[in-house]
Every structure is written in C-alpha cells, then in structure tokens.
Chain A
Amino acid sequence: MENNQQHDESVVGHIAPASMYVSIWAVLMAFTAITVFAATIELHVFNIVVALLIATIKGTLVVLFFMHLRYSPKLTMVTVVASIFFLFILFGLTMTDYLSRGWLTSAGH
C-alpha cells in the first residue's frame, strides 16, 4: 500500500484514460469521412468553408486532447492562443494590402 502511494506521487502529469484517446480517434476518422463526402456535393464557394470548418473541429480536438492542452497549465493555453493571434495578424495585414490594391486608383482613372 505504501509502495502504491509512493508510485502515485512519483507520476507527474495527467494520465487520460485510453478510451478517451480512442473516442477522439473515432470522431476524427468520422469527420475525415464527412469532409470527403462533402467534397462530392456542389456547394460552390461553401465547399471550402465546410472543409475548413471540419478541419478546425478536427484540429481543436487534436490540440485539446492528443496534445493535452486541456490538462496543461494556463501558460500553455496562452501560448497557443498567442500563436493563433499572430497567425491571423500575418493573414489579416497581408490581405488588407493585397485585397485593397487598386481601390483608390480605379475610381480616379
């Protein structure tokens, strides 16, 4: 009994049940099948919207459970949110430039 307690104390980090990993795997496989099926339906511009929405659900599951973000310190969560924030600054500022080119000249010329 005392040995068991010592063993528990020496374990660092959270151990999730194997069934959780298998459940997440099953959901990820199901969404992969759904996204391939969705690609056979004509949704015009929404094909990519649906595909990216499913990818984001899958990505969130991978980060939260496979990468243990759910069981990690808040500092790790801040790191992940910061990376997404800066990624969108990169996309946002780049696209405000490229998408708005010609807006000012087209009216005058």
Chain B
Amino acid sequence: MATSDIQVAEHALQHHFADMEQQRETSTFGMWMFLLTEIMFFGGLFCVYLVYRAAYYTAFVEGSQKMNIWLGATNTAVLICSSLTMALGVRAAQMAKPKLMIALLLITILFGLGFLGIKGIEYHEHWVNHEFPGPNFHFVTGDPEHPATDAQHTEIYFSLYWAMTGLHALHMIIGVGLVLWIVLAGMRGAFTPHYYNPVENVGLYWHFVDLVWIYLFPLLYLISKKHGG
C-alpha cells in the first residue's frame, strides 16, 4: 500500500469498518433504512388519501379540477432536471472533480428553489380562492354552469392537498439545506473518490423527494380528465 493510501485511509476510514467499500455500503444501507421510514411516513398520508378518495370520489374529482395542471407539470419537470444534476453531481464526486460537483449541486439548489417558487404561486392562487381548509373555506367550480355536486367534501381533498404537498415542500426545504451543506463541505475539499458517502446519501434523499412528487402529481392533479385549461 502506498503512503498516500494509508493517509487517506487514516483520514476517512472509521476503525470499526474493514475497508472503505464496507464503510460506504453500510452508510448507504443506513440511508435506505431511513428512507424506508420516510416511505411509511408519507405512506400514512397516502393511506388517508386512499380512504377519503374511496368515500368521496366526486368531491376529489371536483377539487382536483381546480389544480393548475401546467404549473404542476412544470414542477414535475423541474424536479426531474434537479435529479439529473444531483446524480451527475454525485458522479463528479466519484470522479474527483470537486469544482464540477459544486457547480452541479448549485444548479440542483436553483432547481429546488424554482420548485418551491412555483409551488408558492400555486399556494397563493388557492389561498386567494378560499381553497384553504378552515372557517374561510369556500368552494366553487371554475364553470358557473356546472356547480359542485359535493362542495362540502372538497374541503377534505384540499386538507390532504395542503398536508401532502406541504410535507413534501418541507422535505424540499430540508433537501436544499442538505445540498448547501455538501457544497460548503466540498469547497473545503472534504470529499474524495475514496470518501463521498455524504454526497451519495444526500443524493438518495433528493431523489426520494423527487419520487414522492412523481406520485403526488397524478394523485392530486390527474384524478380525471382535465376540463378546460
């Protein structure tokens, strides 16, 4: 073993692991276990959605017609682009290109903030339309000739819409913070092809949040055929 290898190993290898590969696999496995609990965390909300959607299908269709499908689709595309730059950022870390990694992760942060901005526009639209559950909730369909047949229960749809997208947005905010942390550590030269576990694990988190949105988009926006725009 060359001297440089010993130095790297002393720097990055924790004493309770046999080698760097075992350390990396253990770290990644731990991250997957955390993501498993996250799946069950979101799964509770998805389950509530399933129960109420089965009970008040008409209200869910009428509520979902008020979603802006173009903003939702744009946000889906923004997140997919952010996942690409994230994946390429992890690859840059693997290939010992810290500057490229930092640049790609900064683009990922911009996509993440773009997603939150577009989500904010949607939230504002729903807020001024009284589509926030509570005493001021008031539901009217976009088409005056076809009034809502189950306006009362659309409040359940909107409760779930705000809760599910809100929890997702919170994960996005945390994700932006984590990527920023990786960028700052990368600037200090913390990562090598030998040791990039935090980059990989933050990447897994970011892709997971993308994955949740991939399901939220059809469940909240695409329940039935879109009428009009």
Chain A positions within 8 Å of B, measured between CB atoms, are 6-7, 9-13, 15-16, 18, 21-22, 24-25, 28-29, 32, 35-36, 38-44, 47-48, 51-52, 54-55, 58-59, 62-63, 65-68, 72-73, 75-76, 79-80, 82-84, 86-87, 90-91, 94-95, 98-99
Question: B29 and A28: CB pair below 8 A?
Answer: no
Q: What is the interface residue range for chain B against chain A?
A: 35 or more
Question: B8 and A10: CB pair below 8 A?
Answer: yes
Question: A52 and B194: CB pair below 8 A?
Answer: no
Question: A15 and B24: CB pair below 8 A?
Answer: no
Question: A62 and B218: CB pair below 8 A?
Answer: no
CA distance A33 to B166 in the complex (A): 24
Binds A, one of B150-158, B177-185, B204-212: B204-212
CA distance A6 to B96 in the complex (A): 14
Q: Secondary structure of the B side of the interface?
A: helix
Q: Secondary structure of the A side of the interface?
A: helix
Query: B113 contacts the other chain (Cβ, under 8 Å)?
Result: no
Chain B positions within 8 Å of A, measured between CB atoms, are 2, 4-5, 8, 20-21, 24-25, 28-29, 32-33, 35-36, 39-40, 43-44, 46-47, 50-51, 54-55, 69, 73, 76-77, 80-81, 83-84, 86-88, 91, 94-95, 192-194, 196, 200, 203-204, 207-208, 210-211, 214-215, 217-219, 221-226
